[in-house]
Amino acid sequence: MTGVSVDEAMRRAIELAARGLGTTSPNPVVGCVLLDAAGQVVGEGFHAYAGGPHAEIVALAQAGERARGGTAVVTLEPCDHTGRTGPCSTALINAGVARVVIAVPDPDPVATGGAETLRAAGVRVDVGVRADEAEAGNVAWLTSVRRGRPYVIWKYAATLDGRAAAADGTSMWITSEASRIDVHALRGTVDAVIAGVGTVLADDPRLTARNLRDGSLAIRQPLRVVVDSAGRTPLDARVRDGAARTWIATGKEVGFDPAGRVDLTALLAALHERGIRAALLEGGPRLAGAFLAAGLVDRVVGYVAPRLLGAGPAALVDAGVGTITEAIDLDVTDVTQIGPDLRITAVPRKRES
């Protein structure tokens, strides 16, 4: 029987890792495939939730003695520290694994070192197989660890001519129900949803992850964050309804920037300290502009409806662009039709320093 190549096994491990999106924070998503000495798959696993068994431990439990002399294929370098669980590097050594194939090294200074420990024990270690794919699948956690702040996704909805609302301020609903369902699924993959107090005052949103068919709440709710420099969020606002945790982030608590608004860099640092690794920035256009001007947006997800308004508030304002040469260039990574709308995903292009 023909065995499985490490490249094929890594592709499967990346698929497994994705099953943990939205439930593992503040831990990474990780997938693992164990091959026996003949190259046959004898164990699979993924990290399902923070505090639960790591991907390698799940795969080793499936494999049992068949792991001895085999190969562990894992999307992230096995951890080398004892936290809520023991070090995976030691578990792999004790199981008699002969080779470990890693996609991405662990940038966390607390957990890194697994590869070195494995090599010191005589285990062959290879790094870099399908690294780009594994990096993309774990981009929020990796970005957060490397930068000390959450990975920020700016989500907006607009008409084809870039309007977020009509001239009279009405905006329900610019995009289709299919797009709104997709947004709620996106909320379910992040740790926090951020909106400005202006959006709260104008729209009184819930900012929860829900099933729009029956209105039921998702089991896991992101932290609701209202950026409110002067503490204007009403006591009866729906973001205070108890359906999910809420933080009214005021300038007094977080700190002010030179313009007298909430310091966004300090805000993200505070969220990182709270265990937030991925955040969805939802409103409004002025707050989004401030995040973009500060270089704090990592991904843009735009839902564009095939409608025209010709007037009304723009989806984005005050992004620090004064002339065409200062435009924030994006690299489009995906365009998908959602009902009648288009969902465009893009990442800001790195600027020359």
Q: CA–CA separation, 165 vs 91, rounded Å?
A: 56
Catalytic residue among 8, 15, 44, 56: 56
* Planar angle of CA 145, 147, 152, nearest 5 degrees: 90
Q: What are the angstrom distances between the C-alpha of 195 and each of 192, 286, 288, 338?
A: 10, 10, 9, 24
Peptide bond into 284 cis (omega under 30): yes
Q: What are the angstrom distances between the C-alpha of 291 and each of 265, 294, 297, 319?
A: 9, 5, 6, 8
* Residue that has been written with the tokens 């933080």 in this structure: 247
Q: CA–CA separation, 275 vs 25, rounded Å?
A: 7
Q: Is 135 a catalytic residue?
A: no
**What are the backbone angles phi and psi of residue 328, rounded to the nearest 5°?**
-85, 105
Q: Which residues pair with 337 in a beta bridge?
A: 342
- Which residues are marked as active site? 56
